[in-house]
Amino acid sequence: MQQHEIVVIGAGPAGAVASTLLKRKGHNVLMLERQQFPRFSIGESLLAHCLEFVEEAGMMEAVHAAGFQVKNGAAFACGDLYTDFDFRDKFTPGPGTTFQVERAKFDQVLANEAERQGVEVRYRQEVVAARFDGTQPELDVRDAQGNEYTVQSHFVLDASGYGRVLARLCDLEKPSSLPPRKAIFTHIEDRIIDPGFDREKILITVHPQQRGIWYWLIPFSGGRCSIGVVGSETLFGDQSGDLMQTLRTLIDAAPNLKRLLPNAIWDTPANTIGGYSANVKSLYGPGYALLGNAAEFLDPVFSSGVTIALRSSKLAADAVHRQLGGETVNWQADFTDPLMIGVETFRAYVHGWYDGVFQDVVFYENAQPDVRRMISSILAGYAWDTSNPFVADPQRRLRVLGELCKPTALTV
97 lines the binding site for ligand FAD (CB under 6 A): no
Rounded least distance, CB 327 to ligand FAD, Å? 26
* Residues 101-140 contacting ligand FAD, CB under 6 A: 126-127
Q: How far is CA 394 from CA 51, 352, 358, 390, in A?
A: 24, 10, 11, 5
Element (DSSP H or E) covering residue 349: helix 337-354
Out of 24, 38, 42, 410, the only residue in the binding site for ligand FAD (CB under 6 A) is 42
Out of 10, 95, 137, 219, the only residue in the binding site for ligand FAD (CB under 6 A) is 10
Segment 257-261 long-range contacts (CB within 8 Å, at least 24 positions apart):
257/205, 257/215, 257/217, 257/227, 259/194, 260/190, 260/192, 260/194, 260/197, 260/217, 261/188, 261/190, 261/191, 261/192, 261/227
Out of 73, 95, 292, 394, the only residue in the binding site for ligand FAD (CB under 6 A) is 292
Rounded least distance, CB 32 to ligand FAD, Å? 5
157 lines the binding site for ligand FAD (CB under 6 A): no
Q: 385 burial class (0-12, 13-18, 19+ CB within 10 angstroms)?
A: buried
Size of the site for ligand FAD (CB under 6 A): 38
Question: Is the previous residue joined to 208 through a cis bond, with omega within 30 degrees of 0?
Answer: no
Stretch that binds ligand FAD, among 82-90, 156-164, 332-340, 390-398 (CB under 6 A): 156-164
Stretch that binds ligand FAD, among 26-34, 191-199, 243-251, 343-351 (CB under 6 A): 26-34
**Count helices and strands in the chain by DSSP H and E runs:** 15, 21
Instruction: Count Cα neighbours of 63 within 13 Å in the Cβ-side half-sphere.
Output: 27
CA dist., res. 294 & res. 317, Å (int) = 16
Write the DSSP symbol of residue 179: P
Stretch that binds ligand FAD, among 260-268, 293-301, 345-353, 395-403 (CB under 6 A): 293-301
Quickly count: other Cβ atoms within 10 Å of residue 5's Cβ: 15
Out of 273, 324, 341, 410, the only residue in the binding site for ligand FAD (CB under 6 A) is 273
Rounded least distance, CB 22 to ligand FAD, Å? 15
CA dist., res. 24 & res. 374, Å (int) = 34
CA dist., res. 238 & res. 388, Å (int) = 43
45 lines the binding site for ligand FAD (CB under 6 A): yes
Rounded least distance, CB 126 to ligand FAD, Å? 4
Kindly write out the interface string for residues 230-249 of this chain, putting x where it contacts ligand FAD by CB under 6 A and - elsewhere. Answer: --------------------
73 lines the binding site for ligand FAD (CB under 6 A): no
Q: 59 or 309, CB closer to ligand FAD?
A: 309
Q: 278 or 375, CB closer to ligand FAD?
A: 278
Rounded least distance, CB 60 to ligand FAD, Å? 17
Quickly count: other Cβ atoms within 10 Å of residue 1's Cβ: 7
381 lines the binding site for ligand FAD (CB under 6 A): no
Q: 87 or 364, CB closer to ligand FAD?
A: 87
CA dist., res. 405 & res. 390, Å (int) = 15
Rounded least distance, CB 16 to ligand FAD, Å? 8
What 3-state class would DSSP assign to 397? helix
Rounded least distance, CB 142 to ligand FAD, Å? 9
| Interface with ligand FAD (CB under 6 A) | 9-15, 32-35, 41-46, 126-127, 159-163, 165, 183, 273, 276, 292-294, 297, 300, 303, 305-307, 309
